Amino acid sequence: MEGVCAAVSRDISEGVRAGGETESAAAYVPERPTLSGLQEAAAGCRGCHLWERGTQTVFGEGSPDAEVMLVGEQPGDQEDLAGKPFVGPAGRLLDRALEEAGIDRRQAYVTNVVKHFKWEPRGKRRIHQKPSWSEIAACRPWLDAELDVVEPEVVVCLGATAAQALIGRDFRVSRRRGELVESPLARYVLATVHPSSILRQRDDALREAEFATFVEDLRVVPPLLNGQSP
Ligand code: URA
- Sheet (strand 108-112) strand order: 61-62, 108-112, 68-72, 154-158, 188-192
Distance from the CA of 90 to the center of ligand 1, in angstroms? Answer: 7
Instruction: Tell me: pLDDT of 146 over 90.
Output: yes
Average pLDDT over residues 166-174: 97
Can you give the pLDDT at residue 187?
A: 97
Percent of the chain with pLDDT over 70: 91
| Cβ–ligand 1 contact at 97 (below 6 Å) | no
Can you give the pLDDT at residue 229?
A: 75
| Cβ–ligand 1 contact at 80 (below 6 Å) | no
Distance from the CA of 74 to the center of ligand 1, in angstroms? Answer: 5
| CATH tag, 32-225 | 3.40.470.10
Can you give the pLDDT at residue 6?
A: 38
* Cβ-based neighbour number of residue 87 at 10 Å: 20
| Cβ–ligand 1 contact at 161 (below 6 Å) | no
| Cβ–ligand 1 contact at 85 (below 6 Å) | yes
Can you give the pLDDT at residue 230?
A: 78
* CB neighbour list of residue 218: distance below 8 Å, 6 or more residues apart: 97, 98, 100, 101, 103, 156, 192
pLDDT tens track for 78-118? 999 999 999 999 999 999 999 999 999 999 999 999 999 99
Strands (E), the chain: 61-62, 68-72, 108-112, 119-122, 125-128, 154-158, 188-192
Instruction: Tell me: pLDDT of 139 over 80.
Output: yes
Average pLDDT over residues 192-207: 98
Domain positions in the chain: 32-225
Instruction: Tell me: pLDDT of 11 over 70.
Output: no
Q: How do 119-122 and 188-192 pair as beta strands?
A: unpaired
| Cβ–ligand 1 contact at 211 (below 6 Å) | no
Nearest-atom number in ligand 1 for the CA of 58 is: 6
Percent of the chain with pLDDT over 90: 88
